[in-house]
Structures are given as structure tokens and as C-alpha cells.
Structure 1
Amino acid sequence: MEIRFLLELLLPFLFASGVAVNPGCECLLFTSTFGKEFGVFSSPDYPRPYPSDVDCLLYSFVGGSHDIVHITFVDFDVQKTHLDCSLGDRVEVFLSLGGQLRADVNDRTPPAGVLCGGLRDVPAALYSQGPALVLAMHAAGPPSNSSGFLGRFRFLDRRSFRSDGRRVLGTECDQLFSSGDGPRNGRFFSPRYPSSYPSNTTCKYYFRAREKERIRLVFEEVSLQKRDAR
């Protein structure tokens, strides 16, 4: 029932197509949810098996200057022929396209990740680092009965994820939270949250209380790679 409802929502977006930056790719452009909580997208012919000759199909999501793109998959079934999804049928994910209000990708743009397999093999959610996010679908493996994917997208205001502290001068990302500088409570985020944080980066968070005050920290979400959890 839910899938039928999503497919009905999908129809307005299938016709919002544009010209791909890479001349060898076809492109679908998504710039609005038209007042709905989320928009939807799907692989060709979903829920029937997708064609085996999809050389390159771009799904380009572009929001406003203060937006980030949030994507979740309701269903995902892309034939897996290699453990790392580097060859065969796959969906390449481009999360870091800078602050540009367009989805410029080409053969030299490195993907943030490559997806294949089933729903359990893909992240629960994807977030762009700027106002644009691109998915590139390739069907280069042997024909299969895989149904492809069905997903949801929405645009979020990135200003909702700003820390309430002050950046420490002379540092890249250190934050200072002082009881005497503002409100007595607030929020703090890792760099680029809710998108993936940058590698090879050390950020320190300083919390300074007044005399006879205590500091209380509550982590609402923690997701670190094992080598980063110290």
C-alpha cells in the first residue's frame, strides 16, 4: 500500500528532466517536493526489473543556497557482482559538490561511495554536504531480476545544524561554549553534520561553566568509524 502511494507521488518528478553535465549520461532533475513532506524517485521500470543497458542515469537533487539534501531508500535491490560494488550494476553517490547550486559531475568526480546489493547493504540515510546531491546509476552486469530502488528525498535547512558555540580563533573547527557568553543550553555538532565528517580532522569542544555550575552533556546521536572512536 505504501509503495503504491509513493509511486503516485513519483509521477510529477519523472518529467523534471534536464541535460546531464556528462554528455554520455541522461539526467533527472529534482528541485522541489512541491509542498509535500518528501518527494520520491525510482529506478527505471520499478518495481519491475530495471533494464540491463542503463549506461549512465543521473538523479540530480538541487536545493536552495541554505539547503542540504536528505535521501532515504524505501527499497533497494541492485544486482551485486563484486564485493566492493566497483564494477557491474551499481549506484554511485556524490555528496560533496561544494556550495554550488547545480549538480556538476563528470568522469573525474570521485564518488563518496558506491552502492549495490540489498536494502541492508546501503546506509539508512544519505545527506549532502551542500545544496546538491547526485546519484549515478549504472547497469553494466548481466541481465537480472533485480527490481532496482525506490527512494525519498527532501531538502533541509543546513542552518538548523549550526553549533551554538564560538569557533576558537586560530583553529579550523574548535568550539567554545561558555556559560557567560549566551544561553545556558545549546547544541553542538561535528563538522558537516548530518553528512559524513571530513577525514584527518581533529576538532575540540570546550565547555566552560561558571563557579558552582556543572556541565551536562547529552549525545542524541553518535556515529563514528571504528578507527575514529577513541
Structure 2
Amino acid sequence: MQDPATDLGPNKQRQEKPHVHTAVLSPDEKHLLYTNLGSDKIHIYKYKASQPQPLSEPTSVSVTGGDGPRHIDFSANRKYMYVITEMGAHVFTYEYNGGKPKMLQKVSMMEDGSTKEPGGADIHVSPDGLFLYASNRGTANEIVVYRINQENGMLSFVERHNTGGNHPRNFVIDPTGNFLLVANKNSNNVVVFKINRTTGQLTQTANKIEVDSPSCLKFASVE
């Protein structure tokens, strides 16, 4: 694998150096994956917690040059990996293949003919594994909804929905799969949406939390 410090993407303004955004364990906890906007790569290490040096055998997979990978999520059956890109505002579908991803699909989050500024941010699969949700910042300020084909992991467009604020940096789906909460960083609010479990579509509720610059949302159990 090339050195990520020198193996950089074509956008000289945004990819002048490595930009690691997120690191996640694979569902089977056999690999650590991290996204590097600067190199347009998802880097993959074998992971063994019991070893003195738990990370080994680095490899990587590339997205389209200049797209800038940001976040990762996996299908409920663990067979497919989804990557959202920040600059390109695309969602890539991969067959995970035991840490050797094979790209299957690339879909744009932007509406055809749109002149809005893209800014892909966060991505989550619904708890039932039927739908994928992705947030787009820039001047789009949308959550884009896709249905997941349960046979091959491929995505089909369902709808795009305004986030009720500005700069949806992060969002979270509650453990029941009934609600989606969006952290709109620049408008200082968290907006609550009801999820239609059959169609995947969103309906904005009257519930909203005012909070300064929300950037990350997590659910925690209460004892």
C-alpha cells in the first residue's frame, strides 16, 4: 500500500494532505477500516485484539478520484459496505467480501440538474436493514433515502427530504427504527423525523431541540 501522506487525490485545495475522518471495526471485528478524504481511499487493516500489535496486513480500496470518502456503514446481513463521499456526494456500494471489498454501485445524492453545493456527511442503515439514509450538507441540506435490495445489496432511490435546518453534519436512527434525529450544526437544532417502516419515508415531527452547533448524536442505555 502506498504511503497515504504522498498518495493524494486530484483536488489540490481539499486533498493537499491526508484527511482521516472515521475509523470503524467491521461487523465481525476482524478488520479496522478508516476513510481518508485526502487519498480517496478506504484503508483496511486486519485486526486481532489479542496481539501485541493488533493491526496488520494493510490494504485499501479507492473511490473515484476527488470524491473524498467520509463515513461507512454495513448492511444488516454484513455482506455489503456503504461509503458516503464528502466532496462528490456519492454513495458507493461494495460487496464486503471478508475485508476485500468489490465495488457494485455508485449513486449520486444530488438531484439531476441541481445547482446546489454538495457536501456528503453521514450514512446509516435502518435497524431492520431495509433502508439506507444519507445526509447531504452544502446548500442541499437533505436526507436522501434509499431502499436496499435484500438479494444483492444495491440501492434504489426513495426520496429526498429537507432536514429542517442547515448543515446536517450527523444524524442517528433510534434503536426501534421509528425515529430519525438530525443534528443541523449551523442552525443550532436537532430535528426529529418519524420513519415509515414500510416505505422508509420521513415525516418531520413538531419535536425540535435547540442546542449550539450539534455535531454528533448517540443513543445510550439508561439503567
Q: TM-score, normalised by structure 1?
A: 0.25
- Larger relative helix fraction: 1
- Larger relative strand fraction: 2
Higher-Rg member (1/2): 1
